[in-house]
Amino acid sequence: MGPLSGVRIIELAGIGPGPFCGMMLSDMGAEVIRIDRPAKSTVRRTIDVLARGRKSIAVDLKTKAGVEAVLRLCESADALFEGFRPGVTERLGLGPELCMARNPKLVYGRMTGWGQEGPMAQAAGHDINYISLAGALHAIGNKGGKPVPPLNLVGDFGGGGMLLAFGLVCGILEARGSGKGQVIDSAMVDGAASLMAMFFSMQAVGAMNHERASNMLDGGAHFYDTYETSDGKYISLGSIEPQFYALLLEKAGLDADVFGSQMDKSRWADYKSELTVVFRTKTRDEWCGIMEGTDICFAPVLSLDEVAHHPHNSHRDTFVELEGVTQPAPSPRFDRTVPELTHAARKPGEDSREVLSAAGFSDMEIESLIENGAIRQAE
């Protein structure tokens, strides 16, 4: 029973940040009801990690009966969230005004890339575009090279789904005091901008150079970078503090007099060249034996195939196996209301009857909705 046990949230199924938001909320114990499109496939989507833990009801939102069914579900929900372009849910008959008319305390979350209004609000886009406009992409890449997208971690997930989950919980807490719901405009460009807050501080004091890989935290510093080992693998260093840097020099067998000017940017390139040679003298595992677990701020760079087997991750059960698929465990951890994974992703419509019955629909109503094609029950 996670900390959000007793909270009921409706998810209008989408892609990327929306499902991640739903996963975060269901991982924490919320009852998340996923409104899926009716699908012909009856295969369970166990490999879809982002869709784990939710009940699924398959609804044809092109039918009045299907839309009415969702509106009735809103009557007993704490929140609803969607990830369509601005105006889409209004055209479906599921916009904020109609949903909140059924339940004034409903918190209505809207996940988009550009936001609900603004010159680009109706334009298509992806993570790479949103973090470009937020200043994040410009800062990432090799010196003299082009910007390099950091997967879709910053826009879709950190500045998108996770921020929406935070916003929904904030909205639900506020509604419990005020008795009033509200609309949350969660834009990935805004979220990515929030993640850049510290770097605006650094820029204000002249500590942020606009040239990529020329700053302390972007790979410019020799003590904050990755290095290849003799077996073609990599290790990471983050020896920022002087005492940690001193330990790095000691364990790597480097002359403190030669490498003593840690923060002298004019020396970083030369120092990095020397460290590149040093780290290529041993395998990754050999360097782990020397540096891992010390205050050097060191870690091996692991692949997705390796992460679950690392002793630290294994000890903490950072990764778990659910229905044959290795995946991250719920996070963060609570010592009393412990989150737990209940099941992998459902087939679209696998829980249709159960969800409708729990919401007060009669057996006759449920069968009528299924017969008319407004609702699909997967077998």
> Would you tell me how many other CB atoms lie within 10 Å of the CB of residue 80?
28
Return the biggest CA–CA distance within the chain.
84
Q: Would strands 226-228 and 234-237 be described as parallel, antiparallel, or unpaired? A: antiparallel
Phi first, then psi, for residue 41 (nearest 5°) are -70, 140
Helices (H), ranges, the chain? 17-27, 64-74, 88-92, 96-102, 127-133, 162-178, 188-195, 197-204, 242-252, 265-279, 284-291, 311-316, 352-358, 363-371
Catalytic member of 27, 36, 78, 156: 156
- Amino acid letter for position 107: V
The secondary structure of residue 157, as a DSSP letter, is I
The yes-or-no answer on residue 218 being catalytic is no
**At which residue do the structure tokens 């067998």 appear?**
253
Measure CA of the first residue to CA of the last residue in the chain; give whole Å. Answer: 28
CA distances from 84 to 11, 29, 111, 190 (A): 12, 25, 7, 17
Mark whether 126 is an active-site residue.
Answer: yes
| Cβ atoms of 130 and 153 closer than 8 Å | no
Residue type present at position 265: K
| Torsion sign (Cα): 25, 29, 30, 34 | positive
Determine the length of the chain: 379
Residues 60, 126, 138, 343: which is the catalytic one? Answer: 126
Rounded to whole angstroms, the Cα distance separating 346 from 342 reads 11
Q: 63 is written with which tokens?
A: 């039918």
Between vectors from CA 141 to CA 139 and to CA 142, what angle results, nearest 5°?
A: 125
Q: What angle do CA 11, 14, 19 make, to 5 degrees?
A: 65
Residue positions annotated with a catalytic role: 126, 156
